[in-house]
């Protein structure tokens, strides 16, 4: 049967479903009150447990190291082991929390509960690392879209899990914790054998990826409507059952897209003498100097990207962590505050999805490098912070900040793979992701917390009014100004003349000429027409491709290719697939 054929499309669906089940860290608010009462915690102690949740969900360096180390020589079994480690942590963390909350075991010391919470949240990084890196490997030409899809479904997973909770366990948060121990564990273990990296480039990838994106948008829109209706009306049990059934069907629908993509790929392409792929071999080339974590950390580009993420991710997470206190000081009702918190996941999704999709579009169409979109989105965050700080309009401000914050999560991993390569991508992008809790701690505790406490002390109690947070959000705006400058510098540093970022070629009425002094010193390969003149769509292949990634050039081993060697192939339509204009070369000036 076709479904048993383990292609990259089936792997993509498996990754999507694992992402949909693995965002349990976003549901802490559902069971936090019961955790607090059952363990006899005060608010400060509960906040401490919550901090370990944030640390576990955001510090994914171990998952990156495990992925890079174990999949290097054992790709298939290595991937499964990464999922197994995540599944064990997920089950152990939430199951031990459930035993404590139900009184099956004695109340553990608070540090032990922090460990349970850390393990439960840390599992998410193992699932996410595997899924994101596989998406980049499977779709090297559209890595931004692939990462956006994976990060987008992870952003929606919290809302999906909450819908399941409200249908099955409404009013029983302890049962929900048990579900969090079992459900993601079973999903990941059941699907892990389907996930594998099968890098290939076909002209039909983009339409199918667009269909996955459309499904994600439909699910997000559906969840937004349901969340709004639930805040207006009281849903009876049958309404929850119907709405959740529709949601499950929508989540299952990507399988149909994968099967359709498989059928299309299995249909033999009609033979044509007009086009022949320039690059052949088992793997599509991924451009780039492959760096490990230490090598990456020795480059300026690494720290520019890290600092940009401290500004964007830190200020965004600080905003959502303080939205309740911010809303109360601005006299928003509890219902309004809860609605904004629930809808944050939707805005976050739109950013995660849109950041990858839009950056891919402009990269292929106009050659705009992805770091430029970090600058654009942080400009949006500045506007959002100024709106919150000056007018106190949380609705508009939270939408802008939520979308721009979410976009960082698809832009950053893709930029990481483009600058530092995919071999150690898992470790490097998870290291850069530590900017999220680091920036949040600095801006939440040292900025918002201190300024709010000072305002409250001056009036002898709680602070109410715009002035409570005005200075904090103006500072956030200033921080993002720094982020705009830093990311724009990164954009300029990774810009390099007429080199191209995507190197899939069709060649025809043209020759390929190696320029340079031998295999190791070849600087470029020039495409020219059969009369020796460079055509309008002809271009230069960067030396990274020639030296590191091309095994065969038109069937000739590179070892036999001397400088000046011409490989004639008189076919039609000599052109570069990707872009006609300047591209931002991600490996210049490291």
Q: Is the pLDDT of residue 498 over 50?
A: no
Can you tell me the mean pLDDT for 197-208? 70
Report the share of the chain in percent with pLDDT over 70.
76
Separation between Cα atoms, residue 494 and residue 418, nearest integer Å: 10
Closest Cα partner for 373 from 364, 363, 388?
363
Tens of pLDDT, residues 65-115: 888 888 765 555 678 899 999 999 999 999 999 999 999 999 999 999 999
Question: Is 484 exposed, middle or buried, given 0-12, 13-18 or 19+ CB atoms closer than 10 A?
Answer: buried
Among the residue ranges 30-39, 141-150, 206-215, 551-560, the one predicted with the least confidence is 551-560
Tens of pLDDT, residues 239-291: 989 999 999 999 999 999 999 888 877 665 444 433 333 333 333 334 446 78
Residue 124 structure tokens: 């998410």
The CA distances from residue 159 to 102, 168, 217, 221, 405, in Å, are 25, 14, 14, 12, 18
pLDDT of residue 311: 95
Can you tell me the mean pLDDT for 472-483? 95
Q: Is the pLDDT of residue 533 over 60?
A: no
Q: What does pLDDT average to over the chain?
A: 77
DSSP-derived 3-state class of residue 282: coil
Can you tell me the mean pLDDT for 390-413? 90
pTM assigned to the model: 0.73
Tens of pLDDT, residues 164-184: 988 888 778 899 999 999 999
Q: Is the pLDDT of residue 14 over 90?
A: yes
Report the share of the chain in percent with pLDDT over 90.
34
* Choice between 59 and 445, residue whose per-residue pLDDT is larger: 59
* Choice between 29 and 188, residue whose per-residue pLDDT is larger: 188
Among the residue ranges 511-520, 537-546, 574-583, the one predicted with the least confidence is 574-583
pLDDT-derived band at 540 (thresholds 50, 70, 90) equals very low
pLDDT of residue 285: 34
Beta bridge partners of 569: 510
Q: In what order do the strands lie in the sheet with 504-507?
A: 276-277, 504-507, 575-577
pLDDT-derived band at 411 (thresholds 50, 70, 90) equals very high
Q: Which of 223-232, 260-269, 471-480 has the highest mean pLDDT?
A: 471-480
Separation of CA 486 from chain center: 21
pLDDT of residue 581: 32
Can you tell me the mean pLDDT for 132-151? 86
pLDDT of residue 143: 79
User: What is the DSSP track for 88-142?
Assistant: HHHHHHHHHHHHHHTTSSPPPPHHHHHHHHHHHHHHHHHHHHHHHHHHHHH-GGG
pLDDT of residue 315: 92
* Choice between 209 and 328, residue whose per-residue pLDDT is larger: 209
For 209, other C-beta atoms within 10 Å of its C-beta total: 25
Q: Is the pLDDT of residue 18 over 90?
A: yes
Q: Which of 148-162, 351-365, 550-564 has the highest mean pLDDT?
A: 148-162
Separation between Cα atoms, residue 403 and residue 422, nearest integer Å: 27
Instruction: Provide CB contacts within 8 A for 236, sequence distance 6+.
Output: none
**CB-CB contact of 589 with 291 (8 Å):** no
Beta bridge partners of 516: 522
pLDDT of residue 107: 92
User: What is the DSSP track for 458-510?
Assistant: HHTS---STHHHHHHHHHHHHHHHHHHHHHHHHHHHT--TT--S--EEEE-EE
List of domains in the chain: 1-195+205-265 (1.20.1250.20), 288-494 (1.20.1250.20), 504-577 (no CATH)
Q: Is the pLDDT of residue 235 over 60?
A: yes
**CB-CB contact of 316 with 405 (8 Å):** yes
Residue 163 structure tokens: 């819908």
pLDDT of residue 236: 86
Closest Cα partner for 175 from 90, 94, 230, 107?
94
Which helix (H) or strand (E) element contains residue 263? helix 254-266
pLDDT of residue 583: 35
**CB-CB contact of 528 with 534 (8 Å):** yes
Beta bridge partners of 566: 513
């Amino acid at each position: 049967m076709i479904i048993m054929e383990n292609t990259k499309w089936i792997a993509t669906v498996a990754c999507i479903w694992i992402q949909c089940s693995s965002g349990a860290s976003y549901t802490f608010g559902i069971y936090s009150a019961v955790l607090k009462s059952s363990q006899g915690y005060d608010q400060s102690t509960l906040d401490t447990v919550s901090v370990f949740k944030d640390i576990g969900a955001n510090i994914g360096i171990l998952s990156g190291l495990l992925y890079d180390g174990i999949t290097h020589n054992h790709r298939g079994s290595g991937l499964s082991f990464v999922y197994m480690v995540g599944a064990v942590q997920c089950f152990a963390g939430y199951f031990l929390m459930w035993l404590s909350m139900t009184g099956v075991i004695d109340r553990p010391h608070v540090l032990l509960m922090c460990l349970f919470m850390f393990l439960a949240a840390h599992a998410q990084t193992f699932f996410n690392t595997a899924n994101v890196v596989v998406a980049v490997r499977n779709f090297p030409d559209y890595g931004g879209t692939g990462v956006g899809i994976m990060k987008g479904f992870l952003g929606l997973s919290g809302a999906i899990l909450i819908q399941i909770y409200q249908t099955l366990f409404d009013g029983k948060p302890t049962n929900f914790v048990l579900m969090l121990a079992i459900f993601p564990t079973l999903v990941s273990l059941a699907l892990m054998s389907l996930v594998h990296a099968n890098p290939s480039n076909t002209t039909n990838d983009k339409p199918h990826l667009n269909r996955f994106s459309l499904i994600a948008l439909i699910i997000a829109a559906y969840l937004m409507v349901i969340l709004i209706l639930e805040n207006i009306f009281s849903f009876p049990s049958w309404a929850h059952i119907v709405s959740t059934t529709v949601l499950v069907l929508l989540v299952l629908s990507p399988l149909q897209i994968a099967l359709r993509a498989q059928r299309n790929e299995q249909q033999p392409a009609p033979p044509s003498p007009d086009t022949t792929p320039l690059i052949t071999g088992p793997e599509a080339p991924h451009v780039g100097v492959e760096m490990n974590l230490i090598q990456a950390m020795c480059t300026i580009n690494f720290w520019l990207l890290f600092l940009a993420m401290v500004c964007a991710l830190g200020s965004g997470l600080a905003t959502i962590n303080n939205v309740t206190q911010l809303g109360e000081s601005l006299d928003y009702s509890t219902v309004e505050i809860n609605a904004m918190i629930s809808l944050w996941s939707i805005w976050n999704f739109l950013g995660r999805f849109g950041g990858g999709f839009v950056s891919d579009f402009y990269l292929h169409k106009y050659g705009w490098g992805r770091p430029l979109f970090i600058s654009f989105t942080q400009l949006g965050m500045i506007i959002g912070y100024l709106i919150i700080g000056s007018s106190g309009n949380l609705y508009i401000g939270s939408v802008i900040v939520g979308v721009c914050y979410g976009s960082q999560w698809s832009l950053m991993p893709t930029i990481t793979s483009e600058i530092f390569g995919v071999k150690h991508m898992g470790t490097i992008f998870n290291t850069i992701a530590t900017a999220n809790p680091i920036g949040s701690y600095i801006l939440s505790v040292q900025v918002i917390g201190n300024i709010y406490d000072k305002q409250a002390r001056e009036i002898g109690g709680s602070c109410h009014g715009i002035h409570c947070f005005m200075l904090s959000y103006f500072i956030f705006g200033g921080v993002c100004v720094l982020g705009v400058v830093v990311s724009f510098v990164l954009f300029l540093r990774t810009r390099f003349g007429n080199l191209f970022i995507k190197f899939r070629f069709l060649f025809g009425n043209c020759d390929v000429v190696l320029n340079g002094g031998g295999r190791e010193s070849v600087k470029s390969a020039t495409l020219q027409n059969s009369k020796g003149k460079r055509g309008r769509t002809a271009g230069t292949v960067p030396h990274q491709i020639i030296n590191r990634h091309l095994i065969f050039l038109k069937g000739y081993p590179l070892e036999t290719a001397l400088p000046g060697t011409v490989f004639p192939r008189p076919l039609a339509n000599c052109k570069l697939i990707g872009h006609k204009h300047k591209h931002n070369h991600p490996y210049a000036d490291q």
